[in-house]
Amino acid sequence: MEFSFEDYQNKLHAGIFIPPDTFRPYVSVKPDAYRALEREHEQRDLRIEDTFRQLSKRVGRDYFWKVYPVQSETLDWAQLSFPAYRFILAEVLQDDWLATVDWHKFNRDHALHQPLTAYVVLKMLTGAGDSGLDIGGRYLLDICVDEILRWERTGYLRGFLEKSDAGRTRLPMFLFDGSALSRNIWKALFVESAFLAATFHDLGYPWQYVNRLNSKLEHAGYLKDSPTDDAERIVKDFGRRLLFCPLNGYGSVGLNAPSTWEKRLVEQTAAGLRETHGLPGAIGFLYLNDVLREYPEGESVLREFCVEWAAMAVMMHDMKDVYWGKNGTTTFPENKHLRLQLEVDPLSCIVTLADVLQDFERPSVEFRSSSNSEACATYSSEVSSAVLEYSARRRTLQIVYKCIDANAARRKEAFLSGDQEKYFDPQRGYLDFSACGIEQVELSVR
């Protein structure tokens, strides 16, 4: 299965790339709350057309005319999936541009990356006009739903749904019985939640920057509120939500939990705020939905569940550094309960895999000085497509990045060994697909 920007465009123009909308809208929006956000947005003079106009001045024609249509599609889909997105789009695109041109480390685009990650998710799960990814004679989506409906390691999903309902709409019992109807509902829930998470999975980059800055100022004794204080408040405000299940070992805190567990939970949360963009993004995503939604009236629990499930995947796609801990891969993982295993958290596994895969048409910027001392910027992508291949004989999933030339391939290859160990070490890697017969995932360039 091959993924590329050209394939995405072709499917879009042919009308066969259709974002899922079985459960949209996910939340019932309070008109007064929406208008309040809209007024604040207008007062800050952050109109959508001005945002794109300013972006076009900074990135050049070629890159702009890739971003503009893709983000316009995202805005249209977000009207019923994430209504607050239009009010943060200006900051998202501005911070993305700033991150792309800064010199701290190798930085790349996210304005294209997020929608294209959603394309990767949809193509892996449904084929998006073709067939979904085949793993040893079974489609990936069927494998994921099979694991969910066993309710052996995924009981936290059922428990959360039942507690969220609490008599509001009386969830039908066939939702959990593994029948054909149940399977179809969970397939739709899975695809829609995965697409939602992928589309907005990198929203946390601006928050991560602020938290990193705060942590530096904290050491200088400047701030009254530290990242730990923020973590304590987040545990208090969001600790009962689905995204905290992974931090609690994919369950709720038992009555026999150690007296030190709450302190460890706060420490994990603080690390997530400080070292990842996944946790800040998930909290921001949940909060921006919370401020708009009707409660206890509102949409059905199943519709609202898409937001909760997507938020968990947004967080978990970037928790590998918290999983490994301060010493990285030189020691055993510090928080081994955070490991992503297909039989436990299939949604986060799929979104994280898609994030690793989506490295094609992802521009980075190169600066050079011209003869008249003016700085010139060039946006280019070194990966043209990515290929996903499963070998039943070797029980191996291969991810092959096709590069534009030999120099690009050498540069890309230099980054692969770290990702190979962090994500895909068979014994300790952050991602574990062994439940579906994938014993090894290999990264390579071509």
- Using the predicted structure, report yes or no on whether residue 307 has a pLDDT greater than 50: yes
Output 279 or 297, whichever has higher pLDDT: 279
Position 219 confidence tier, pLDDT thresholds 50, 70, 90? very low
Indicate whether 168 belongs to any domain: no
Indicate whether 101 belongs to any domain: yes
Indicate whether 229 belongs to any domain: yes
Indicate whether 181 belongs to any domain: no
Which amino acid belongs to residue 319? M
Q: Tally the domains of the chain.
A: 1
96 close to 109: Cβ distance less than 8 angstroms: yes
Indicate whether 259 belongs to any domain: yes
SS3 2: strand
Indicate whether 170 belongs to any domain: no
Residues 6+ apart with CB under 8 A from 352: 313, 316, 317, 340, 423, 430, 431
Domain span at 277: 2-127+194-445
Position 227 confidence tier, pLDDT thresholds 50, 70, 90? very low
309 close to 286: Cβ distance less than 8 angstroms: no
Structure confidence by residue, pLDDT tens digits, 137-151: 999 999 999 999 999
Percent of residues, the chain, with pLDDT higher than 70: 93
Q: How far apart are CA 253 and CA 247, in angstroms?
A: 10
Instruction: Write down the pLDDT at residue 230.
Output: 85
Q: At what angle do helices 85-101 and 278-290 cross, to 10 degrees?
A: 160
Looking at the DSSP assignment, which residues form a beta bridge with residue 388? 399
Q: How far apart are CA 73 and CA 79, in angstroms?
A: 10
Indicate whether 132 belongs to any domain: no
Indicate whether 342 belongs to any domain: yes
Identify whether 172 is preceded by a cis peptide bond (ω within 30 of 0).
no
Output 42 or 9, whichever has higher pLDDT: 9
Predicted TM-score (pTM) above 0.95? no
Which whole-number Å values give the CA distances from 8 to 13, 23, 53, in the listed order?
9, 23, 25
Q: How far apart are CA 285 and CA 50, in angstroms?
A: 24
Instruction: Write down the pLDDT at residue 180.
Output: 95
120 close to 140: Cβ distance less than 8 angstroms: no
